[in-house]
Amino acid sequence: MASIGQRLWKAGNTASVWLYRRTGGKVGGRVRGVPVLLLTVPGRRTGVAHTTPVGYFERDGSYYLAASAGGQPKEPQWIRNLRASSTATVQIGRESSPVTVEILRGTERDSVWTDLVVATAPFFADYETKSGRRIAVAKLTPAGPGSTT
């Protein structure tokens, strides 16, 4: 059974997604200076699509997501689901598009973490220290020309 904290987190997530969609990202589209997108990815066990707001960093037409969970010891469910899926959908403002998924590893992950994530939002460095884990970074690339829906 889900704890009260988990239920509150889920309710807050549901409200955040609703507000983002309702306002086209005007509400909830930026947190601590970091732009936010809505990530929709199928659950790794159920296949049921889940949508969650996630801060992102953009470079060369791709979106990078750091699975920081605000420095919590457990990584967020969305990164676990991305590991099991080669595709997802992102919504930025009112525009949605399919994306391909790559979980970065090794020096590529380290370079994006340092030169993009932490360079853009230095407070993310504290999340890795606080969490006690190496924070995963996902690269989401639009699935091709004309893919915006």
- For residue 36, which amino acid is it? V
Cα angle value 149/146/82 (rounded, 5°): 65
Residue ranges of domains in the chain, CATH in brackets: 4-142 (2.30.110.10)
Average pLDDT over residues 24-52: 92
Q: Is the distance from CB of 139 to CB of 104 less than 8 angstroms?
A: yes
Q: Whole-angstrom Cα distance, residue 113 to residue 61? A: 17
Average pLDDT over residues 57-79: 94
> pTM value?
0.88
Q: Whole-angstrom Cα distance, residue 16 to residue 53? A: 7
Q: What is the pLDDT of residue 91?
A: 96
Q: Whole-angstrom Cα distance, residue 44 to residue 68? A: 19
What tens digit of pLDDT does each residue of 105-128 get? 999 999 999 999 999 999 999 999
- For residue 139, which amino acid is it? K
Q: Is the distance from CB of 58 to CB of 36 less than 8 angstroms?
A: no
What does DSSP assign to residue 142?
E
Q: Whole-angstrom Cα distance, residue 138 to residue 75? A: 13
Regarding predicted confidence, which is higher, 13 or 99?
99
